[in-house]
């Protein structure tokens, strides 16, 4: 357990601002995905919800998402040496403040108070687990449409850690999503701690910032002194509150496991029939040729390739060939591969003016093109494989890419209904399995683009 008190100066917000925390990638859930999801907000004490997730809660309310709030304790132990307020008086005061704060964030949210003792949630794990399960079940949503919002399980405060750990247990067992918000972490941790570097940001609108600020201010007993007498000092001083005045909030994100298992468990063998049907109905079902999003992503992919030209390139999962044409222009020889014969027919027509470019109907990783390549591009394909197939794909790439060659991966970061993987998982698997030098990374809310270099042959 981390040792600290609210009297500690801790890490300043200036230090955090210099750390790069403002450049963390965004949570890959858009307004529509948030609106379709039910959220259970968990607070160990009144004010946790406002500090850690007030802006997000305000957004959810504005989008019409279902929000349920569970408060574990009244925070009656916040001023144990107060000469002016008993624990019972503090409990009543802080519950009123909690209601006032929620009125500013999500006025119509139902909230439940468990009445557990402040500072002892670890000793009341079973009722906490039961309450979380009950609140999530009451949404009557499938697992992939439920997200728990809880204190970070390693926040350093015993109650935060206990509640965060309980939330993680329920989320893992039931397949719910989990957003963990840090509070005291910003005080005792520092930029050198690795935990925050894998977290995600939720940028806040000016209206969401205002709602959060009003909610924090509603917790008067914490942000102002109870009196000028010793023991009634401010619990959350201005320097600490600076961490929660950022125009974004930060979360550790665990996507719903229900997304992975919500469909029939498709894999590579299903790709031909599924995508042939899609391309038969629509020659360009994802607007590759007309969408500015696709045009911009294509331009970024091409710009990220470290070499001007390549001897032999292959695109795995070329679809209708909009990226293939541009890749082929930079390769002496080029092969476009796809499992869908319908999509591949469109790609062949796009490439027919380039004599060194060819297409081939293959279902990877079971099938694989002959030869070796100094450029392999895998775009929007990895999550259409099972985990075992994805591992086999990277084995094929490792065996085929020439020393010093370029591997470019680009994938959508949102959940893919009916498929087990998502874009972030695909890229994390590549980094873990290949262990190749990273030659470039671009990540934003909707997609991740990453370039790797195969190791050079040792002399």
Torsion angle in degrees (nearest 10) through CA of 344, 350, 355, 356: -60
Residue 259: its pLDDT value, please?
Answer: 43
CB atoms within 10 A of CB 305: 20
394 pLDDT higher than 50? yes
Q: How far is CA 286 from CA 268, 338, 343, in A?
A: 20, 16, 12
pLDDT digits (tens, 9 = 90+) for 210-241: 999 999 999 999 999 999 999 999 999 999 99
pLDDT digits (tens, 9 = 90+) for 408-421: 999 999 877 777 78
Burial 24-45 (b: 16+ CB within 10 A, else e): bbbbbbeeeebeebbbbbbbbb
pLDDT digits (tens, 9 = 90+) for 153-176: 999 999 999 999 999 999 999 999
Specify the 3-state DSSP secondary structure of 333: strand
Report, in angstroms and rounded to the nearest whole number, the Rg of the chain calculated over CA atoms.
Answer: 26
Query: Where do runs of H (alpha helix) occur along 122-205?
Result: 125-137, 158-174, 185-188
What are the extents of the domains in the chain?
Answer: 13-261, 268-453
Q: And the tokens for 179?
A: 């957003």
Higher pLDDT, 446 or 375: 375
Q: What CATH topology corresponds to 268-453?
A: Rossmann fold (3.40.50)
Contact indicator for 121, 267 with CB cutoff of 8 Å? no
289: confidence class by pLDDT, cuts 50, 70, 90: confident
Residue 406 pairs in a beta bridge with 375, 453
Contacts of 249 (CB under 8 A, 6+ apart): 52, 53, 54, 55, 56, 181, 201, 202, 204
pLDDT digits (tens, 9 = 90+) for 176-219: 999 999 999 999 999 999 999 889 999 999 999 999 999 999 99
Residue 453 pairs in a beta bridge with 406
Tokens 């698997």 sit at which residue?
Answer: 429
Size of the chain, expressed as the number of residues it contains: 459
CB atoms within 10 A of CB 173: 11
pLDDT digits (tens, 9 = 90+) for 415-450: 777 777 889 999 999 999 999 999 999 998 899 999
Are 13-261 and 268-453 in the same CATH fold? yes
CA distance 182 to 160: 9
Domain 13-261 grouped into CATH 3.40.50.2300? no
pTM, two decimals, is 0.74
The whole-number average pLDDT for the span 254-272 is 59
Secondary structure, 3-state, 345-379: HHHHHHHCCCCCEEEEECCCCCCCCCCCEEEEEEE
Q: How far is CA 77 from CA 42, 84, 287, 362, in A?
A: 19, 13, 58, 65
pLDDT digits (tens, 9 = 90+) for 311-351: 999 999 999 999 999 999 999 999 999 988 888 999 999 99
109: confidence class by pLDDT, cuts 50, 70, 90: confident
Contact indicator for 35, 64 with CB cutoff of 8 Å? yes
264 pLDDT higher than 50? no
Maximum Cα–Cα distance for the chain, whole Å? 87
pLDDT digits (tens, 9 = 90+) for 69-98: 999 999 999 999 999 999 999 999 999 999
CB atoms within 10 A of CB 434: 17
8: confidence class by pLDDT, cuts 50, 70, 90: confident
Query: Average pLDDT over the chain, rounded to whole?
Result: 92
- 21 CB-side CA count, 13 A: 27
Tokens 């499938």 sit at which residue?
Answer: 142
406 pLDDT higher than 70? yes
């Amino acid at each position: 357990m981390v040792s600290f008190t609210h009297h500690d100066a801790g890490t300043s917000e200036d230090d955090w601002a210099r750390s790069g925390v403002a450049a963390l990638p965004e949570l890959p859930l858009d307004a529509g995905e948030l609106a379709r999801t039910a959220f259970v907000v968990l607070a160990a004490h009144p004010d946790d919800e406002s500090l850690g997730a007030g802006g997000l809660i305000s957004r959810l309310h504005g989008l019409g998402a279902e929000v349920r709030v569970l408060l574990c304790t009244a925070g009656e132990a916040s001023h144990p040496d107060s000469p002016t307020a008993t624990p019972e008086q503090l409990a009543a005061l802080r519950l009123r403040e909690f209601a006032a704060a929620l009125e500013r964030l999500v006025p119509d949210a139902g909230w439940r108070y468990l009445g557990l003792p402040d500072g002892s949630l670890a000793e009341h794990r079973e009722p906490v687990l039961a309450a979380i399960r009950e609140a999530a079940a009451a949404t009557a949503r499938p697992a992939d449409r439920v997200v728990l919002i809880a204190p970070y399980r390693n926040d350093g405060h015993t109650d935060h850690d206990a509640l965060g750990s309980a939330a993680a247990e329920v989320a893992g067992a039931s397949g719910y999503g989990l957003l963990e918000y840090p509070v005291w972490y910003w005080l005792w941790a520092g930029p050198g701690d690795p935990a925050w570097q894998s977290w995600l940001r939720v940028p806040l609108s000016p209206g969401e910032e205002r709602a959060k600020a009003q909610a924090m201010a509603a917790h008067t007993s914490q942000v102002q002194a109870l009196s000028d007498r010793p023991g009634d000092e401010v619990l959350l001083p201005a320097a600490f509150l600076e961490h929660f005045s950022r125009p974004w909030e930060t979360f550790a994100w665990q996507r719903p496991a229900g997304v992975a298992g919500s469909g029939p468990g498709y894999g590579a063998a299903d790709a031909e029939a599924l995508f042939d049907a899609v391309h038969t109905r629509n020659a360009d079902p994802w607007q590759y040729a007309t969408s500015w999003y696709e045009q911009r992503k294509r331009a970024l992919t091409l710009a990220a390739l470290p070499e001007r030209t390549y001897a032999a390139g292959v695109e795995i999962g070329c679809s209708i060939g909009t990226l293939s044409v541009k890749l082929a222009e930079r390769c002496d020889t080029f092969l476009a591969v796809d499992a869908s014969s319908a999509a591949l027919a469109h790609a062949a027509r796009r490439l027919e003016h380039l004599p060194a470019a060819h297409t081939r109907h293959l279902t990877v990783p079971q099938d694989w093109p002959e030869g070796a390549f100094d450029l392999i591009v895998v775009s929007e394909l990895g999550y259409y494989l099972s985990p075992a197939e994805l591992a086999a794909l990277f084995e094929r790439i490792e065996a085929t890419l020439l020393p010093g060659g370029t591997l470019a991966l680009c994938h959508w970061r949102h959940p893919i209904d009916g498929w087990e993987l998502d874009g972030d998982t695909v890229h994390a698997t590549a980094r873990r399995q290949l262990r190749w030098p990273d030659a470039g990374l671009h990540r934003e809310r909707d997609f991740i683009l990453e370039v790797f270099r195969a190791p050079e042959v040792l002399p």
